Structure 1
Amino acid sequence: MIDDIFIFDNVIHLYDMSTPNLREDRPEAEETRDRILKYVKALRWPGNPELDDPAFNWARRWEAEDMYDLVFKQSPTDMAMTQVVPMFDWFKDWESPIVTQHAMAAAYPDRVMFCGGVDPMYRGLNHALDQIDFQIKELGARSFKFYNGHDRIPECWRCDDERFAYPMYERALAGGVNVLQFHKGNPWGQQNMEYLNPTDLQGPARDFPEISFIVHHLALPYFEEMVSIAARFPNVYLSLAGYISFYRIAPRRVQEHIGRLLQMAGPEKLLWGSEAALAGGPTPTLNAFMEMEIPTDLRSGYGYPQITREDKKKILGENFARLMGVDIEQKKAEFAREANPASASAEVL
């Protein structure tokens, strides 16, 4: 925790961008992987120990112990959700494989939740539906991640498609999962960007009011559309993952976006996400976020509210804990007992 604030990281990924995981039948796979890693370099700032360290290698398969060390031992994170990325365009075992995401949740069940992933264009809708059942019943999935924009048009689908998308939402609900997450904006390869526009989430948000829809990356460059949707639909939330790291590089830009989100959608709609390991360890960004303020000229010139400590508490952990049914005070007590087992034994005696 930082300043007694519970940190619940909405998204961490155990990536597999290793060369053996690249698809040989996609000649652009290596180039696209390298473009993703080049994008990571844009997150660098002077003094960042990981991004300036050549030994910190992203082009490999991350395992549970590696990620636990990065997210929990090296940062004040209390809980996290490890998320599958069903990006099969260039990766054999997907960009963030099911097996490694689940392995981490299974290894650290008190701190890590598993977000599964499926795609109706990977092996067909029936396979996706079967996988939803399997990942809920056998792997304990508490959420699902969708990536509907691919680099080949026949593999793309819309989130409001009643033939392909709605059956997956219905199957998740039938299994007791009511939190669904979507990659929007921020294309990695040569996808047609319209599939990454968040406007196709309006129909599902309206038709499935019992589902909480989490949109990642603020759907940039579709920020205005995303603000409008989040402001109008009570069950749409925004993950700061893959975006908040830019505060160390372009603080003004981030202050403008956060100020507008606080003004139009409110702090209850924002979720902390570190995007570890691709964005490095969470600590530097967490510290920067705790110091963040909305400048006077943005508040007086645009009417943006100041970001408060209470806002940061909600964003860093309370909002996501509420969505996932986590009792923060109970978790704090549990972690305190783990940290000091002698005191816990004395209480029992």
Structure 2
Amino acid sequence: MLDDLFVLDAVTHAYNFDSANYAVHRDAKLIADLSYFMARNPPDRRYALPGEVYLSDWSAEDVANLVFRESPTDIAVMHPLPISAFHDGLVSVEKAAEAVSRWPNRFIGAYAAVDPLTGVSAVRELERQAQLLNPLGVKLYPNSWATGQVALWRMDDPKVAFPVYEKALELGIRHVAVHKAVPIGSVPVGDSYSPSDIEGAAAAFPDLSFEIVHGGMAFLDETAWLLSRFDNIYVNMEIQNIILERRPRAFAEILLGLARIGGKRMFRKLFWGSGTTLYHPRPALEAFLEFEFPEDLLDRAGLFAALPQLTLEDKKGILGGNYARVHGIDLDAARKAVIGDEFWREPGAGLPEPYSTISHAATVDSWRAARA
């Protein structure tokens, strides 16, 4: 049935986990190890990878092959990253530029990525990336290594964050995504990973929409209240896809928790995101098509009103319609634009074996053979 749906992946990454990319070695290694910990040991061993492949420098072409050849995903967005514990931010702006220029009908856009703690340099870098990427949004992280050691900032800080928002609006960028909930590395995080600081930003900048990446992975009640109170706050479900495949009941609890205050309409504020190359995009898509809320969880879900079972229309919204509505993307035009391209797959055609189309395919095959 995935052939009947049009899937928009709201966040993909061409990671560079190679140790030569570590700028702050201890913290960069911890971030890389945490990512591999989340991805390894999948229930379906076809989606397992050896560390030497996972912790490598992934190319934009590898991401394109994983997302569009090896999964039913139709179009996607590339996120470069501003994590300065890595020399290139972990996902370079240049890779995002390559993706949107080589496959514009598939990578329908990218986000700019800046570090607000770099001050004037962040604003200038946003101007540069606006010219290079024509970005759909800005991607931010709540901690920084710009000075060589970890530092924190808040989304509601008028001196640190607001100049970035003001420049974004000046450049015609009306969407801000921020990593929350999942700490990266064993560093002090204070309250910087809570989404609570977004309310001040959302209230001060009503013409911007704010995307909580990993929303609900922690601070579930706080996130639910934000979604219900602010029309310009949304959640990107990256990493929830991994939970869905492995712990569907836990996934159900997160989704129901996000809708606990605002009810069913909160399902219209969720964006599907695989985070590829964090993990393979296919298994969670297949699991989501079959997913239903356990009835015993539904019986006690919702604070002010009962919550219904997910419908196919809800799933269509989460898998692309919601993101398209917020960003003004014409999905009918996008569907027509990919017909017959290099990634085109006739309806009903099978998908290649996982990781068989990437540049490390031979290494993966040898590793699998040795483990058989």
Q: Please report the TM-score for the alignment, with normalisation by the length of structure 2.
A: 0.84
In structure 2, the partner of 1:14 is: 14
Report if the CA contact (8 A) 1:197-1:222 is conserved: yes
Tell me what 1:300 maps to: 299
- What RMSD, in angstroms, separates the aligned Cα atoms of the two structures? 2.2
**Unpaired runs of 5+ in structure 2?**
345-372
Q: 1:344 maps to what in 2?
A: none
What is the match of residue 327 of structure 2? 324
Q: Contact 1:217–1:239 (CA<8 Å) still a contact in 2? A: yes
Per the TM alignment, residue 127 of structure 1 is displaced from its structure 2 partner at its CA by 0.8
Measured in 1, the distance between the counterparts of 2:169 and 2:31 equals: 34
Contact 2:106/2:338 (8 A) holds in 1 = no
Per the alignment, do residues 154 and 244 of structure 1 end up closer, same or farther by CA in structure 2, a change over 3 Å counting? closer
1:196 to 179, 193, 196: 193
Query: Shift of residue 154 of structure 1?
Result: 6.5
Q: Distance in 2 between matches of 1:339 and 1:290?
A: 26
SS of the aligned residue for 1:304 comes to coil
The aligned counterpart of 1:132 is: 126
For residues 109-129 of structure 1, the C-alpha deviation after alignment (integer angstroms, 9 at most, x for no partner) is 1111111100022xx211110
**Does residue 59 in structure 1 map to residue 55 in structure 2?**
yes
In 1, the alpha carbon distance for the partners of 2:30 and 2:42 equals: 25
Q: CA 1:193–1:57 in 2, change beyond 3 Å: closer, same or farther?
A: farther
Distance 1:340 1:194 in 2: 43
Whole-Å Cα distance in 2 between the matches of residues 277 and 256 of structure 1? 25
Structure having greater relative contact order (Cα 8 Å, sep ≥ 6): 2
- With over 3 angstroms needed to count, the CA separation of the structure-2 counterparts of 1:282 and 1:31, relative to structure 1, is closer
State how 1:249-288 maps to structure 2 within 5 Å: 249-265=246-262, 266-279=266-279, 281-288=280-287
**In 2: Cα distance, 1:78 partner to 1:109 partner:** 12
State the distance in 2 between where 1:219 and 1:163 align.
28
More displaced 10-residue stretch of structure 1: 309-318 or 299-308: 299-308
- Give the structure 2 partner of residue 102 of structure 1: 97
- Is 1:241 equivalent to 2:234 in the alignment? no
Give the share of equivalent positions with the same residue, in percent.
31
* CA positional deviation for 1:274: 0.6
Q: Tell me if the contact between 1:187 and 1:193 (Cα under 8 Å) persists in the aligned partners.
A: no
User: Counterpart of 1:171 in 2: which secondary structure?
Assistant: helix
Opposite residue 95 of structure 2, the aligned amino acid is T
Native 8 Å contact 2:183 2:193 kept in 1: yes
Cα contact 1:184–1:219 (8 A) shared by 2: no
Instruction: Write the distance in 1 (CA, Å) between the matches of 2:169 and 2:310.
Output: 35
SS in 1 for 2:307: coil
Matched, 1:227 2:224: yes
Q: Distance in 1 between matches of 2:52 and 2:149?
A: 35
User: Residue 192 of structure 2: SS of its match in structure 1?
Assistant: helix
Q: 2:166 aligns with which of 159, 166, 170?
A: 170
Contact persistence 2:36–2:51 (CA under 8 A): no
1:157 and 2:153 matched: yes
Please tell me whether the aligned partners of residues 259 and 306 of structure 1 are also in contact (alpha carbons under 8 angstroms). no
Q: Is the 8 A contact 1:248 1:288 kept in 2?
A: yes
The whole-number CA distance in structure 1 between the counterparts of 2:211 and 2:160 is: 19
| Helix, strand or coil at the partner of 2:35 | helix
Name the aligned partner's letter for residue 313 of structure 1: K
In structure 2, relative to structure 1, the CA distance for the partners of 1:330 and 1:30 (3 Å cut) is: closer
Cα-to-partner distance string for 1:16-39 (whole Å, 9 max, x where unaligned): 11011012x544433443233223
Task: Indicate yes or no: 2:46 matched with 1:49.
Answer: yes
Matching of residue 142 in structure 1 with residue 136 in structure 2: yes
SS at match of 1:95: coil
* AA of the residue aligned to 1:287: E
Give per-residue Cα distances to partners, 1:95-121, cap 9 Å, x unaligned.
111111221111111111111100022
Letter in 1 for 2:127: D
Partner secondary structure for residue 11 of structure 1: strand
Query: What is the TM-score of this pair, normalised by structure 1?
Result: 0.89
- Give 3-state SS (helix, strand or coil) of 2:4's partner: coil
Residue aligned with 1:116, SS = strand
Shift of 1:56: 7.5
CA distance in 2, matches of 1:28, 1:69: 30
Give the aligned partner of residue 210 of structure 1: 207
Q: 1:64·1:107 contact (CA, 8 Å) conserved in 2?
A: no
Counterpart secondary structure, 1:163: coil
Quote the Cα distance in structure 1 between the aligned partners of 2:57 and 2:32: 13
8 A Cα contact 2:236 2:272, kept in partner: yes
